Structure 1
Amino acid sequence: MASDRETLLSMGFDPARVDWALRATNGRGLQPAMDHLLAHEGEAVPASGGGSTAGASTTGVDEDEEADVAELGINAGGAEAKSIKCSICDKTFRNTALANFHAEKSGHDQFEESTDEIKPLTEDEKREKLAELREKMAAKRALKTEQDIQEAKEKEKIRRKQGNDMNKIKEELKAKEIIKEAQQRRQDKIDDAKARAAIRTQIEADKKARAEKAAREKALREGRPIVDALPAASSTAPPATPAASSSGAVSGKDFKDTRLQIRLASGGTPYVTTLPSDSTLHDVAEYVAAQTLSVSVDTVSFAQHFPRKTFTRAEFGKTLKELGLTPSAVGRTCVVSFYR
């Protein structure tokens, strides 16, 4: 017949914990030892010398005190007290340690001595108890495993949601950055065009001033009178007719902005925008690419419906004014189609 220690070891308990349980229960049997192992599962195993002390403090009674209790039971009731009974649930316990454990678990606080003797477990009862204990441990492990799996799933959901949110934020930032860069390039080109125009104007003014100065110096050297070029030119010019003046005013008017209506070849709502007349057709392509976010500037081509015309890649460097897209009257709309 296997001893209680061998039985507990075969159940998979640690030898040190088995020895502790047997010492703490004073070798009262398999059931008290198993109850002690379950009750102190997460606690550290005390030293060998402190095991008996812990057992004594847990039970709250040593062998001499048990003898005194037994003697008191005999003297009081005329019969020997062989167990402790819970007055609330009528469960009987072999010793005070098991009764204290029951009180901690159930909250019951009314106990009395009993003459009922708790017989030791038979081999069949030990096997049944062992099987029951193994089922409880297996159920506990399965529950812990299920909880771990569920917790891992929740963490994975949170991680995926955070990843999707981060990707969405990155895409939005990238789209805004593309639009911002396109607008900055367009503004830089406009500023460069304005700067070049100002330089050309200054160069022409300097050339004219030098020419006038040279003419004055030559006239002084030759002893001829100095004649102002502008009054002479204006005096010799024929008077302009009203029709010619009106036509010249319209054709020579400088429109600073051009209003464009850009329609995609694939359909959909057209884009309407206003760009400076000094902007190039390449600037318009960058605007379209920034709005659609699905094409490159190199894949954009334009065609004008009326008068019908298809613009070549060589014309992408020309301004809207040079291409004749600048309106000749306020409110004129230039319709431009987009092809991928």
Structure 2
Amino acid sequence: MAGDKDTLLGMGFDSARVEWALKATGNRGLQPAMDHILENEGKSVPDLGGVTESSSSGSRGGAMDVEDDEDADALRSLGAAANNAVEAKSIKCSECGKIFRNTALANFHAEKSGHDQFEESTEEIKPLTEEEKKQKLAELRQKMAEKRARKAEEDLKEQKVSEALRRKAGKDMNKVKEDMKLKQALQEAEQKKRDKIEDARAKAAIKAQIEADKQARAEKFAREKAIRDGQPLPNESPVTPASTSATTPPSSGVAGKDYQGTRLQIRMSTGGQPYTTTLPSESSLREVAEFLAGQTLTVDVEAVSFAQHFPRRVKAFNRSDFSKSLKELGLTPSAVLIATP
């Protein structure tokens, strides 16, 4: 009815819910429509094409599906004769005592609560006064406001949880990235160190080969010269009388401190097997460091230090000595060095 619809709309109810309530209650008045709205406030509005109108004499279905003899028993329990001497004006839920104006509202109550015991009642549901309508509307609005407040609080909690998870995920990701960068930097530094050592080893090997070639050519030249001059070959004892053979040293083609090569034995201060090599006397102490770096991965050319142990004292070489030759440092023709990585 247009008057009931306007009244409900004026009370602030949603238009779609008003249409649903009026159709579901068969346009039986303002009170049934309002009860329907209050009973179904938490449900979504269905397609009105599938909503069946209720009538006062229609079937109650589901929870209200009873036989005629049960109706007669219900009437008798109210003090009415079987010939309908007393008119039923409402439907009462036997389980909770709630009274409904029509079967449609009773069916909705049965679906919502699960109750299935109903009986007809002579109690009449009086229409709401204006004051009661205002009170119900105020209660409904308060309930809706509380529901919105709870929903807003739940949304805020979910938002905080989501934000905390997002921040934690961001921190975890940043930590993973930092760890990866640190690991990559360490790998690059280790690779550079290995490359540097390999480069020093390669350079030392090349220099050693060059010096070996020089020494071989020098020895060849010395032998050829000795043959031309009729002198004994290098590293061979000359033919001399027996009385002087024991006291005359072999001729090496060099005199005094002019040694072409220096034989070195290098011992590590940390222990282990010593390293031996022969380098030209003009080689610098740095070249000795490069040779040692090429033999082991634990020696850094820029950090290693050398010392020479004399019977009564220790002679240590500083960084400025690295540019001096073995001859200048007095290490020819042979020496034993102690290396400290």
For the aligned pair, the TM-score class normalised by the smaller chain equals 0.5 to 0.7
Give the match for residue 277 of structure 2: none
Superposed counterparts of 1:1-340, under 5 Å = 3-37=3-37, 39=40, 42-48=43-49, 50-51=50-51, 53=52, 60-61=59-60, 76=82, 78-216=85-223, 222=228, 224-225=229-230, 227-231=232-236, 235-236=250-251, 252-255=264-267, 276-281=298-303
CA distance in 1, matches of 2:130, 2:26: 21
Code of the residue aligned with 2:18 in structure 1: it is V
Root-mean-square deviation (CA, aligned residues, Å) is 4.3
Deviation at 1:257, TM superposition (A): 7.0
Deviation at 1:275, TM superposition (A): 7.1
CA distance in 1, matches of 2:86, 2:130: 30
Code of the residue aligned with 2:234 in structure 1: it is A
CA distance in 1, matches of 2:28, 2:116: 23
CA distance in 1, matches of 2:297, 2:268: 9
Structure 2, unpaired ranges of 5+: 239-248, 253-261, 272-295, 305-314, 324-335
Distance 1:95 1:202, change over 3 A: same
Distance 1:31 1:155, change over 3 A: farther
> SS state of the match for residue 98, structure 1?
helix
Q: TM-score, normalised by structure 1?
A: 0.61
Distance 1:99 1:218, change over 3 A: same
Deviation at 1:253, TM superposition (A): 3.4
Give the match for residue 337 of structure 1: none
Code of the residue aligned with 1:110 in structure 2: it is Q
- Higher mean alpha-carbon deviation, 189-198 vs 29-38, is at 29-38
> SS state of the match for residue 85, structure 1?
strand
CA contact (8 A) 2:60 2:107 kept: no
Distance 1:4 1:280, change over 3 A: farther
CA distance in 2, matches of 1:228, 1:5: 134
Deviation at 1:181, TM superposition (A): 1.9
Q: Work out the percentage of aligned pairs sharing the same amino acid.
A: 52
CA contact (8 A) 2:26 2:54 kept: yes
CA distance in 2, matches of 1:101, 1:109: 11
CA contact (8 A) 2:194 2:297 kept: no
> SS state of the match for residue 254, structure 1?
strand
Deviation at 1:258, TM superposition (A): 6.8
Deviation at 1:39, TM superposition (A): 2.0
Distance 1:126 1:159, change over 3 A: same
Code of the residue aligned with 1:235 in structure 2: it is P
CA deviation vs aligned residue, 1:301-338 (integer Å, no higher than 9, x gap):
xxxxxx9xx98xxx8x99xxxxxxxx9669x7x9xxxx
CA distance in 1, matches of 2:46, 2:298: 86
Deviation at 1:230, TM superposition (A): 4.0
CA deviation vs aligned residue, 1:206-238 (integer Å, no higher than 9, x gap):
222233344555667x5x45854344798247x
CA distance in 2, matches of 1:254, 1:225: 39
CA distance in 2, matches of 1:60, 1:145: 42
CA distance in 2, matches of 1:26, 1:11: 20
CA contact (8 A) 1:25 1:33 kept: yes
- Higher mean alpha-carbon deviation, 195-204 vs 92-101, is at 92-101
Q: TM-score, normalised by structure 2?
A: 0.61
Code of the residue aligned with 1:280 in structure 2: it is E
Number of equivalences: 258
Structure 1, unpaired ranges of 5+: 238-247, 260-273, 284-306, 319-326, 335-340
CA distance in 1, matches of 2:269, 2:53: 95
Deviation at 1:92, TM superposition (A): 1.3
CA contact (8 A) 1:255 1:277 kept: no
Distance 1:109 1:35, change over 3 A: same
Distance 1:218 1:34, change over 3 A: farther
CA contact (8 A) 2:24 2:104 kept: no
Code of the residue aligned with 2:32 in structure 1: it is P
- Higher mean alpha-carbon deviation, 170-179 vs 10-19, is at 10-19
Distance 1:277 1:95, change over 3 A: same
CA contact (8 A) 1:256 1:277 kept: no
